[in-house]
């Protein structure tokens, strides 16, 4: 009997892990985090206990900068890697960091990931 109960419990826990990891995809309420000022597009990402918003959509074909905001951030999200921009740095605990993304092409998303790899964000570029 024990074995069957345990198998059921195990399956339940596996499902729970799945939900914790991949469930509840916070349907990124399209936060207004992209703005164009003087011909330059700024995308703002908050870094603290992960990145938010996790998915942003921006315009392709214009000079773009990424602004990463930290606010008393000590966790992994402060060690940011943006491979497409050859950016790899520990962000200041509190402050804003500007990362130049050049002129992004449409359909080539840019990904940022924290040094240990458990937090990430994506920016999609569209025409």
Q: Would you say 51 and 69 are in contact if contact means Cβ atoms under 8 Å apart?
A: no
Total residues contacting another protein (rule CB under 8 A)?
41
Write down the least CB distance from residue 37 to another protein, Å.
Answer: 28
Cis amide bond preceding 45, omega within 30: no
Residue 115 binds to another protein (criterion: CB under 8 A): yes
Asked if residue 108 binds another protein (CB under 8 A), the reply is no
Distance CA 68, CA 47 (A): 6
Q: How far is the CB of 48 from another protein (least distance, A)?
A: 6
Q: What does the block give as tokens for 124?
A: 């999609």
Among 31, 35, 36, 94, binds another protein (CB under 8 A): 94
């Amino acid at each position: 009997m024990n074995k069957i109960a345990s198998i059921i419990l195990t399956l339940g826990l596996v499902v729970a892990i799945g939900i914790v990891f991949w469930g509840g995809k916070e349907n990124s309420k399209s936060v207004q985090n992209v703005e164009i000022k003087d011909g330059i597009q700024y995308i703002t990402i908050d870094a603290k206990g992960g990145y938010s918003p996790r998915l942003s959509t921006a315009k392709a074909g214009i000079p773009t900068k990424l602004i990463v905001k930290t606010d008393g951030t000590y966790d992994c999200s402060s060690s940011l890697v943006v491979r497409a921009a050859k950016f790899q740095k520990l962000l200041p605990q509190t402050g804003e960091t500007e990362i130049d993304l050049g002129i992004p092409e449409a359909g080539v998303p840019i990904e940022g990931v924290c040094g240990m790899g458990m937090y990430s964000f994506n920016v999609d570029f569209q025409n």
